[in-house]
Structure 1
Amino acid sequence: MSVSARPAAAGPRFRALLVHANPFQRVTPVPAYGLERLRTAAESTGAEVEILDPYLVAEDAIAAARAAAERLQPHVVGLGIRIIDDCIVVDHPAANGHGPIDVSFLLPEIRELRRALGEVVPEATFVAGGAGFSACPQECLEYLGVEWGVVGAGEDAFAAICAGRPLKQIPGLLRRGDEQGIGAYHLGFGGPTKRDPLYAPANSFPVRTRIGCAMQCAYCTAANLMRRHANTDIGVVLDEIAQTVEWTKARGVGRVPIFFADDEFNLPDEKHSIAVLRGIVERGLADSVTWRAYFNPTPFSDELAQLVRETNGLVSITVDSAAEKVLAAAQKPFRRRHLDELV
């Protein structure tokens, strides 16, 4: 199904299997928030969409994926690739900055998952996406043997796939061999996300208030976005928080833990974050949530600090160094004085 992923109009209901292709779930489990957003976006199409998190729910992830594909017989298989490797510097005093690096390359395992799924449903169209994929999309498509991918937000593209639009006509879809790579990154938003019951016991529930990144740090793949970013509508953010609180409390959770899944919650300025937190207070949600987010050391006004306190927030300051030379070389959007003022 290379031209259109949809069966004939008189055929069966369109079916899609969204697979959280994240072996790191064995180490640090997280909700498949991106896949939840895709499924929510496709609701209006009438498609049957299932989420599978094989590395979370099964000892044998490959067997679990095979079984799910055999049962559902999907027309489209989406591979959500959140992480492509973990890179951990092994420190010891004698290394002087040149110590060994422990890298676990995860794509070989993901390729085996893709191969197994392809054996079960050889006629299905495979589409890759996710944060890790979006950092090097063409390289991932080539390595995995996948024809199509979505760089950045995939809600609109996935809904169009489920609605039966020809793949070549869908904005936001990238094809293997195209000239575009991360330059095809799509900034887009849907409505409030409907959660999967699988993640009810999660230690936090992601909520995205913006997409992209306002920074251009020298060492980060997000620098390739050239500071492209956009804010989600405040009403949509607050609706999602309110729905998550209602949904989670119905499952026995007391105060609901939220993680604002933004690169930096207070960049490019703090107006958006202040509006989100003020909205939490005005909607009477402050006593029902705790939350955390990544912050740049600046801007951080007294007003923002007070709202963090009122809404039970936990601030994670993303500081790589306090040395001026290192901060300048890394193109960080703060300096030592900002860190001193904040502390």
Structure 2
Amino acid sequence: MARVALINLASLPMPGNEPIFPIGLRCVQDALDLSGHQTRVVDFVEDPGAADDLSWLAEPWDVIGFTIRNIDPIEISCDSHVEHYEHFLNRVRKALDGYGRRPLLVGGGPGYSLFADQLLARLGFDVGVVGPGEQAMLDIVADPDRYRGVGKNIAGRRYDGFMTHMPQHPKSLMETYTRFEGAMIGVETRRKTCYQGCVYCPYAYLDGDNSGDLKPLELIASELRAIHAAGIRRVFFTDGIFNSEIRYAKEVVRLITELDLPGLSWSAYFTPKPFDDEFAELLAGSNVEFVVISPDSLDDRVMKLLGKTFGTRHVDRCLERCRRHGIPARVNIVFGGPGEDQESVRNSIKYVNSKLREGELVMHVGYRVLPQTGMARQLGIPDDDLLPPTFHPFHPDTFSWIIQDLDNRFMPPEALLNLMAARSSSKRMAKVPLPEDSQQSAPTEFPYLALSRQLPLVKGLPTAGGYS
């Protein structure tokens, strides 16, 4: 039996950070508990003082795991979180030295997995986990000395318990996160790599070899009942795309309806295809909060360059079905991607103005470039250079094109202020020439890549197609 502390670095107080319930870390803890190990989750939202006094380090831990959800807020006017993680780990090692202790230090989480090679030595971990963490952590804690000081990353593996065990979240941690207005918790229904080929998305790299597991419905039912009993009324299914396998998605929606948990609403990421009338009818009776679709552009040429497997006609059909059945929708648009120019911006805005209703548009500006993505390969940027916040090039007039054409009903004061802040930040970014043979750059006179810089945070700035 090992003594294991699991530290939720995503709960550190950092500019631009908005902590959410640490579902991934909790899954790792449950796996360890089931195997007889003694564990503790340290969450700085639940225990703010633990970030300062580090008193938990006085306990004789064999292994301390640190999870990193995000590397940065992926907002144009925000700084990286890496410096905060680095400062915290330096404090941790200094405190451990003072106690005369040398537990194994392990890094993991989705943000860590993206930049594992860059973060391993910088944060001083003995070993890191890339991808799903449960089985890898079980392997590590079974023989910590085998991994001490090895300085390498290992790949996460399929965890059988995902199909047989429902996470048993601690009441105190659940209650902590229910205090937030609109508290929401994530639930996994499957572990399967997204079939879409979006050029900006790292999900396939993060998911790893998961064998396409679909969680049994009875486990989902038990988890939803427990969440409801804890007082949480909003659920977000964390699948890459909820309806990628529509037959299974229909089964999950039927289950939600049959459970009939008072006040429980839910949402997820959807694709406009497949999305048939039967599915829309099921959604309408399930208290779905809203259907989130991410065409990311409403110009068919740009959508194709982004790697979308659908076009605006599929968005039309999806929205028509949602409206016919009274289902609220949210449409994510990200301006400034591959091939974006004034014409494509105008086409997207024309669609928004003519076909979307007030409150349906979620607008973003700028794509954060992440490792192991088609966008990174197109730009030819080494992974090591992507750790600072790095954005796909976009024309400096993009902001003006949006402001001059978008209807005022989609531009409330907060959105306008955020757009202006993003424009101000983009003007102060470092510029790097694109490869001469790049076929994805827009036909403009601005062939540059925006890189990181130190800027003040503007809270609420639209994000740029992030990771979770």
TM-score range, shorter chain: 0.7 to 0.9
The offset of 1:332, in angstroms, is: 1.5
54 and 73 in structure 1: CA distance in 2 versus 1, 3 angstrom threshold: farther
206 and 330 in structure 1: CA distance in 2 versus 1, 3 angstrom threshold: same
Higher-Rg structure is 2
Does structure 2 conserve the Cα–Cα contact (< 8 Å) formed by 1:258 and 1:291? yes
Does structure 2 conserve the Cα–Cα contact (< 8 Å) formed by 1:286 and 1:311? no
Which residue does 1:94 correspond to in 2?
A: none
Which residue does 2:184 correspond to in 1?
A: 204
SS at the partner of 2:85? helix
SS at the partner of 1:142? helix
Which residue does 2:62 correspond to in 1?
A: 75
Does structure 1 conserve the Cα–Cα contact (< 8 Å) formed by 2:4 and 2:63? yes
Which residue does 2:201 correspond to in 1?
A: 220
Render the CA deviation track for 1:88-116: whole Å, top value 9, x for unaligned. Answer: 23xxxxxxxxxxxx231111111222222
The offset of 1:288, in angstroms, is: 6.0
Whole-angstrom CA distance in 2 between matches of 1:19 and 1:69: 11
Indicate which of 45, 61, 71 corresponds to 1:84: 71
- 151-160 vs 185-194, greater mean Cα deviation: 185-194
Whole-angstrom CA distance in 1 between matches of 2:313 and 2:145: 51
The offset of 1:320, in angstroms, is: 0.8
Indicate which of 136, 158, 166 corresponds to 2:137: 158
291 and 161 in structure 1: CA distance in 2 versus 1, 3 angstrom threshold: same
Indicate which of 286, 298, 312 corresponds to 1:322: 298
156 and 51 in structure 1: CA distance in 2 versus 1, 3 angstrom threshold: same
Whole-angstrom CA distance in 2 between matches of 1:47 and 1:110: 26
SS at the partner of 1:293? strand
Whole-angstrom CA distance in 2 between matches of 1:154 and 1:76: 14
1:192 aligns with 2:166: yes
1:242 aligns with 2:232: no
Does structure 2 conserve the Cα–Cα contact (< 8 Å) formed by 1:217 and 1:332? yes
Does structure 2 conserve the Cα–Cα contact (< 8 Å) formed by 1:210 and 1:231? yes
Whole-angstrom CA distance in 2 between matches of 1:36 and 1:194: 8
Which residue does 2:283 correspond to in 1?
A: 308
Letter in 2 for 1:323: D
Which residue does 1:133 correspond to in 2?
A: 112
User: % of aligned pairs identical?
Assistant: 25
The offset of 1:274, in angstroms, is: 1.3
Does structure 1 conserve the Cα–Cα contact (< 8 Å) formed by 2:62 and 2:144? no
Whole-angstrom CA distance in 2 between matches of 1:38 and 1:326: 39
The offset of 1:293, in angstroms, is: 0.5
Which residue does 2:322 correspond to in 1?
A: none
SS at the partner of 1:318? strand
Render the CA deviation track for 1:129-182: whole Å, top value 9, x for unaligned. Answer: 1111111211121221212111111111223334x246759xxxxx6346x7xx
Does structure 2 conserve the Cα–Cα contact (< 8 Å) formed by 1:36 and 1:193? yes
- The unaligned stretches of length 5 or more in structure 1 are 1-12, 90-101, 170-174
SS at the partner of 1:328? helix
29 and 300 in structure 1: CA distance in 2 versus 1, 3 angstrom threshold: same
CA RMSD of aligned residues (A): 2.9
1:274 aligns with 2:250: yes
